[in-house]
Structure 1
Amino acid sequence: MAEFIPPGTRWVDLPSPFPMKRGGALHGARLAFETWGQLNDDQSNAILILTGMSPDAHAAANTDNPAPGWWEWMVGPGKPIDTRRWFVICANALGSCKGSTGPASPNPANGAPYRLEFPELSVEDGADAATVLVRELGITRLACVVGNSMGGMTALALLARHPGIARYHINICGAARALPFSIAIRSLQREAIRLDAHWNNGDYSDTQYPENGMRMARKLGVVTYRSALEWDGRFGRVRLDADRRGDDEPFGLEFEVESYLEAHARRFVHRYDPNCYLYLSRSMDWFDLGECHDGDTVRGLAAIEGVERALVLGVKTDILFPIQQQEEIANGLRRAGCDTRFLPMPSPQGHDAFLVDAERFGLAVAGFLRMLPAAEFVADKVA
């Protein structure tokens, strides 16, 4: 078991004990983050980015780590989230293996990795941890909280559980609850990991690692992150050259799309902890903002207080967090009295469009942020 922490990562200590929504508590826990830009004197220009399940806190290059980040085209000087104007914080999710405390982290009770002794993890726990980070940085109120994918869930939990913590909100391919299709897919991913003999009830090592289970889980995920339209346009029915086929094994690789999935999966395994994958995956299945409102998700959204304006972005080809879920968020926030704009994007890339469709998503985010009051541009200050 290992944690995969990028250079330049910073940490904030969480209160000890840190109570978890579904019971239990963490002791000596911490949350990983990175920052860009400069916080102004009245703390009015802070933006918090909450990520999907697998990214780390390194959203973009900065002084401490010049390597390109996972959202490089979105965050930086002159980019849609312009760090000449905004002080940007990106938090790694609680429960991850990318710096924040999770199942792969040492349990202070015995020094060994938590493994399955880690308390049950909820999206709400991640939201509460992010609130600690914001307060520890001396920020009374965020200008904006940005959440994409699982981070969109975490952002809604943050706004619901900590009224007034942000004036504005951008929700990208997020959801206020998990739908049956998404739950089914994630259930299959978890089953693939658990049925790998090397998973060993969570007690594996780097040499006895559930590689096949993680490969299958990642392949299932990648299939749902993109759309059938993109798979067809990108690969069609193109077959592999004879020297790349798996003719030496029954039913081996034959099509380009199979080879792509295999390569993608192999890049992921041994770079993500399987137990962290299981915990974060299940936390999304459990999430429902309407659970305290008789199961009415829109009522849960309508109960959010203190958000003045919001932008909700979705993708028409998204099958994992389908477009009706972003429309539901927009409708609920409007009922909360929030001036909300909903933009259904025609991107062919499906759920992951927000990572690759810079033209559409960059334009929408930049346009929204330009309308918000904040610090003046400081051209000679670079993130």
Structure 2
Amino acid sequence: MFLICSKAAVTLPPMTQSFALQADVPAPADAARRRGRGAVSNASGRFEPYARIEEDDGWDSLGDLPPFRTEVALEKARTAITRNQSPDIAFDRSINPYRGCEHGCVYCFARPTHAFLGLSPGLDFESKLTAKPNVADLLRRELAAPNYKPRTIALGTNTDPYQPIERTHRLTRKILEVLEETRHPVGLVTKSALVLRDLDILARMATQGLAKVAISITTLDPKLAREMEPRAPTPSRRLATVAALAQAGVPVTVLTAPIIPSLNDHEIDRLLEAAHGAGATEAGYVLLRLPNEIKDLVQEWLLERHPGKVRRILSLVRDTRGGKLYDSGWGVRQTGEGPVAWMIGRRFEAAAKRLKLDRRRLRLRTDLFTPPRGTGGRIQEQLNLFG
């Protein structure tokens, strides 16, 4: 059964209070129900006035609850391209064909966006997903706008465009087909080997300087990866994906993200060496980010999976965030600040320089762009004849 109460009435358990976290903390969901999932709980989002807490009524009622299964809702999107003006991000536009991500990475910085849907950033984020089946049609229309000016479109900036449901919905594939047709530059970020399904398109675009791919690899330890990213491919599979992309001529960057002090920061050198050996030509990193609900989700996960390290890890995170668990300031949210962040940054830079992974980021071409035909009515089609 569920108890529903005002969030003001929810008290923090003693272990949680010792870390001075500011959010409601639900009871962990039954382990059998959430098997194969990343989050420990399913707390209501920050915009909801009430908290729903699982509570056994003495009749073993929690054992009757069904497991968390992936559900996909269809959304009729209004726009395809999302724009941003963030000064510390290398792109100003992106496309996200899905909301939520089945990979279940416990640290995912996109989790808080599920709160805008009235859903939990916890288990709901990885089991209640949304797909936008009209996204490719919208993209075609937006690229045909008379005032559109091409710049690299990023895919995978919020949730993974190659998460498991892409096998069925193929929205990322449809987006790439539009971008190839219009010779529009694209940069992809993914953890998934499913990106190789679209190697035909990506290889053709890469020969024109129109495509590059970043593969995110958090750790080389398969056990730790399974704990943190339960439905993402194994580290060895991701390295094999880097190799396949590189062999096909697609420029590949490896992202060591996130780096978590005292958990995976010792792997920086080995991880970059493995990525370089697989064919990566660039590298980047992001320090663990804990905005909004993520700080509670990560703490719950640490208490369950690495209880002996939780105090140490959170203490080091605070050292990189000016005494807080997170600082959203431009320029520091990705890398942190202070001595601990400085040492992590210098270690990464030294390894990247030694392996020649510190080259300037590849700039994709925009001069080949051709607006799509047949999207602006008869007049636009006639004008296209002269283009």
- Bigger radius of gyration, 1 or 2? 2
TM-score by shorter chain over 0.5? no
Q: Give the TM-score, by structure 2 length.
A: 0.28
